[in-house]
Structure formats: structure tokens, C-alpha cells
């Protein structure tokens, strides 16, 4: 028996998220079906972080246990022959039995992409939120977000239906920057609540459009005013970039493999 880790990239546009569901197509289901075709074994996969319907991943980390002769570093090549083009395995490696894709992660990194241009762009429409009514003030958004860094109770930024026992989590860093017409919101945290990033971005956009002040934004989450947090950003602009571990599990990947260059450098 060996444990294999996968670095997985997927376009979530037509999937009902990562986790298996009844009567819905999910990334986990398709990946496990591909593993069954290869190994003729029922394989259970575990992911670093759950993504909801329509959310993408550029560097999702998954592991599974298998009793099979295929070397750990060959699963990426074999699986890609059985997977749709919307799901790609960037790298596969054998890891120690105690390593876990979720529980061994130090923090996770999500990026939200806002297209703040006047006109839509068909090349990035499925991976960004076209918010064009007003020019966003990314400086205001950044200032409003900084108080969230550290360990806090983010109850206001948790959608109904969460099964977490606590809404306390630790945000390592929030970085908001504009590159031409793109506004990128990068959030790194030890864990994320259900719907947390999309609710945060929805509220920060209101700050950037000067519909609410940074003080109102801060009051809503520090005083757990969940009923006032009504605006949520759409799923298609959200991407699970990667998860970080104390050891460098994957050796072949650089940052441009995690996220397309044109969404890092922006476009003119």
C-alpha cells in the first residue's frame, strides 16, 4: 500500500464543485472513476480544500492510498489519458503514509479575479467577475481588508449550511492589487469557512465602489452582522490557487503553472 499525492488543475465551470454529490457531476467523482479504470480498485481521494460549484483550481492537492504497481510519479501521465481536458494532473508523487493533503497543509491560497474594464472579455469571462459599473478603488479595498489579517471570528462571512464547529480562523495575508483592468484579491488562510472568500469579495467591492465605508465593512464582520452581509461575488471569479506544506512535495511546478501568466501580469 502506498500514498500518492496529486497536483490537480481544473476548470470548475461545468462541475458542481469538488466533493461527490448525488445527481451532480463533480471533480472528485470523475477523478475517482478514472482511478478505477486504471487500477480496477475503488479509490477514495482526499483534497486540501473543498471548492463549490463553478469554482476553479489551479493547484488543488489530492491524495489517495493504493495497492498498485504503477509508480507514484507515473499517475499524472496515466490519469491525464482518462480525464477530460477540463481536469489535468500537473504532477504526481509518492508521499509518506502520515502525510495528508488537508491536515498537513499550513495554509491555503485563494485568488479572486475582478475584471473592472468597461467591456467584457470573452477570453477571461469564465474565470473573472465583470464588475464594470464603477472604477474600483483598490486602495480603499486593501485598507479595509488589512484588519482581517490574524485570527478572528469570521461568522459574518460564513454562508448558511456550514458544518464547522467554529467560525474562528486565521488569515495569514490579504493582498489586493490592480493590474490594468484586473483587480486581484489574494487571500491566504489556515482554513476557510463555507462561502467565505466570495462574501468577503462581495463586501470589498462595495467598499471599492464607495457604497459602504471601510468602517462599515469592519463593523459588519467584527460585530458578526451576518444579516447585513448580503452581497456575494459569483463563483466563476474564484480559484483555489494552491496549498502550502512544511515540505516541498511537488518539485516540478513554478508559479506560472499554478496560475496563467496573463492573469498574473494582466492585460492591456
Please give the pLDDT value at position 263: 52
Query: pLDDT digits over 177-207, tens only?
Result: 999 999 999 999 999 999 999 999 999 999 9
- Whether the pLDDT of residue 259 is over 70: the answer is no
Pair (228, 121) in one structural domain: yes
Pair (151, 203) in one structural domain: yes
Residue 225 lies in a domain: yes
| Alpha-carbon separation of residue 159 from 32, 162, 197, 224 (angstroms) | 28, 7, 10, 13
Pair (63, 41) in one structural domain: yes
Q: From CA 153, how far away is CA 188, in angstroms rounded?
A: 16
Q: Of 43, 75, 103, which closes a domain?
A: 103
Q: Is 201 helix (H, G, I), strand (E, B) or coil?
A: helix
Q: Is 223 helix (H, G, I), strand (E, B) or coil?
A: coil
Q: DSSP character for 267?
A: B
| Alpha-carbon separation of residue 110 from 97, 117, 141 (angstroms) | 27, 22, 17
Which grid cell sits at 141? 479595498
User: What are the φ and ψ backbone dihedral angles of 62, each rounded to 5 degrees?
Assistant: -135, 145
* Mean pLDDT score, 232-260: 85
Pair (131, 196) in one structural domain: yes
* Mean pLDDT score, 100-111: 95
User: What are the φ and ψ backbone dihedral angles of 7, each rounded to 5 degrees?
Assistant: -105, 115
Domain residues for 221? 107-239
Please give the pLDDT value at position 30: 97
Q: Which residue has the higher pLDDT, 132 or 266?
A: 132
| Average pLDDT of the residues of the chain | 92
| Residue whose C-alpha is closest to residue 197's, from 236, 249, 224, 147 | 236
Residue 180 lies in a domain: yes
Q: Of 103, 118, 139, which closes a domain?
A: 103
Which grid cell sits at 219? 463593523
Residue 234 lies in a domain: yes
Q: Measured in whole angstroms, how far is the alpha carbon of residue 233 from the centre of its chain?
A: 14
The CA angle 263-193-138, to the nearest 5 degrees, is: 40
Pair (170, 68) in one structural domain: no
Question: What does 2-66 look like in DSSP terms, one character per residue?
Answer: EEEEEEEEE-GGGSS-SS--TTS--HHHHHHHHHHHHHSS----EESS---TT-EEEEEEEEEEE
Residue 233 lies in a domain: yes
Residues contacting residue 72 through CB under 8 Å, at least 6 positions apart: 2, 4, 5, 92, 93, 94, 95
Percent above pLDDT 70 for the chain: 94
Q: From CA 197, how far away is CA 118, in angstroms rounded?
A: 24
Residue 267 lies in a domain: no
Contact 267, 122 (CB under 8 A): no
Pair (36, 120) in one structural domain: no
Pair (119, 79) in one structural domain: no
> Which residues are known to be catalytic?
52
Please give the pLDDT value at position 268: 34
> Strands 56-66 and 238-245, how do they pair?
parallel
Residue 252 lies in a domain: no
- Whether the pLDDT of residue 108 is over 90: the answer is yes
Residue 57 lies in a domain: yes
Query: pLDDT digits over 44-101, tens only?
Result: 999 999 899 999 999 999 999 999 999 999 999 999 999 999 999 999 999 999 999 9
Pair (112, 96) in one structural domain: no
Query: pLDDT digits over 115-131, tens only?
Result: 999 999 998 999 999 99
- Whether the pLDDT of residue 267 is over 50: the answer is no
How many structural domains does the chain have?
2
Contact 208, 183 (CB under 8 A): yes
Residues contacting residue 172 through CB under 8 Å, at least 6 positions apart: 107, 149, 188, 189, 190
CATH number (domain holding residue 80): 3.30.70.580
Please give the pLDDT value at position 260: 61
CATH number (domain holding residue 179): 3.30.70.660
| Residue whose C-alpha is closest to residue 200's, from 211, 215, 185, 212 | 185
Amino acid at each position: 500500500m502506498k500514498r500518492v499525492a496529486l497536483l490537480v488543475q481544473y476548470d470548475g465551470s461545468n462541475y458542481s464543485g469538488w466533493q461527490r454529490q448525488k445527481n451532480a457531476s463533480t471533480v472528485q467523482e470523475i477523478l475517482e472513476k478514472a482511478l478505477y479504470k486504471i487500477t480496477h480498485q475503488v479509490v477514495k481521494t482526499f483534497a486540501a480544500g473543498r471548492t463549490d460549484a463553478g469554482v476553479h483550481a489551479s493547484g488543488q492537492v489530492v491524495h489517495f492510498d493504493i495497492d498498485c504497481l504503477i509508480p507514484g510519479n507515473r499517475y499524472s501521465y496515466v490519469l491525464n489519458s482518462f480525464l477530460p481536458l477540463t481536469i489535468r494532473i500537473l504532477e504526481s508523487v509518492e508521499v509518506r503514509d502520515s502525510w495528508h493533503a488537508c491536515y498537513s497543509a499550513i495554509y491555503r491560497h485563494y485568488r479572486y479575479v475582478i475584471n473592472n474594464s468597461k467591456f467584457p472579455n470573452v477570453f477571461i469571462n469564465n474565470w473573472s467577475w465583470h464588475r464594470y459599473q464603477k472604477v474600483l478603488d483598490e486602495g480603499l479595498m486593501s485598507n479595509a481588508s488589512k484588519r482581517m489579517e490574524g485570527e478572528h471570528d469570521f461568522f459574518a462571512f460564513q454562508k448558511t449550511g456550514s458544518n464547522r464547529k467554529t467560525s474562528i480562523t486565521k488569515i495569514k495575508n490579504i493582498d489586493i492589487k490592480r493590474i490594468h483592468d484586473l483587480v486581484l484579491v489574494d487571500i491566504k488562510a489556515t482554513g476557510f469557512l463555507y462561502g467565505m472568500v466570495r462574501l468577503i469579495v462581495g463586501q470589498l467591492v462595495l467598499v471599492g465602489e464607495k457604497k459602504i465605508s471601510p468602517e462599515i465593512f469592519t463593523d459588519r464582520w467584527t460585530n458578526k452582522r451576518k444579516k447585513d452581509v448580503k452581497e456575494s461575488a459569483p463563483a466563476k471569479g474564484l480559484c483555489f490557487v494552491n496549498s502550502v506544506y512544511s515540505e516541498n512535495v511537488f518539485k516540478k511546478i513554478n508559479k506560472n503553472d499554478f496560475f496563467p501568466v496573463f492573469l498574473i501580469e494582466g492585460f492591456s
